[in-house]
Amino acid sequence: MGDAILTVTTKKQSSLLCKDWFFFGTTEFFHQESFFKKGTHTVKFTNLSPDAKIDIAENGIKVYMMCDGYIDTFISALHMAEAFLGGLGTNPNRTIFGSHVPEYMERENI
């Protein structure tokens, strides 16, 4: 087993409520990290398997960056909840907790 250390440097955010989301991954593992403040950040991947170390040595760690604000994240989470929360009960006459798929849930799953 071993460790890998990745250094990320972020600069001044474009707005007060802005943050950077990073998705790090290989064929052996994935990790998500969010940075709000500018500066140098260290991400440590611990207890890597021999296969993960070989993959990092040959292919590196893939990095995907998503820029998003807290308000947009909150709105996205609400939409995701709408897609999955509904039809949880046994009474077909109840709006949210009825035994049917509500209209808002159909709309979010299109």
Residue 42's pLDDT band (boundaries 50, 70, 90)?
very high
Q: What is the pLDDT of residues 58-84, one digit of tens each?
A: 999 998 877 666 677 777 778 777 777
Q: What are phi and psi of 45, to 5 degrees?
A: -100, 115
Q: How many Å separate Cα 102 from the centre of its chain?
A: 27
Q: What is the pLDDT of residues 12-35, one digit of tens each?
A: 776 666 777 888 989 888 898 888
Q: Given a cut of 60, is residue 4 above it in pLDDT?
A: yes
pTM for the whole structure: 0.55
Give the CA angle between residues 35, 4, 47 to the nearest 5°: 105
Q: Given a cut of 80, is residue 87 above it in pLDDT?
A: no
* Helix spans in 1-102 (H): 50-59, 70-84
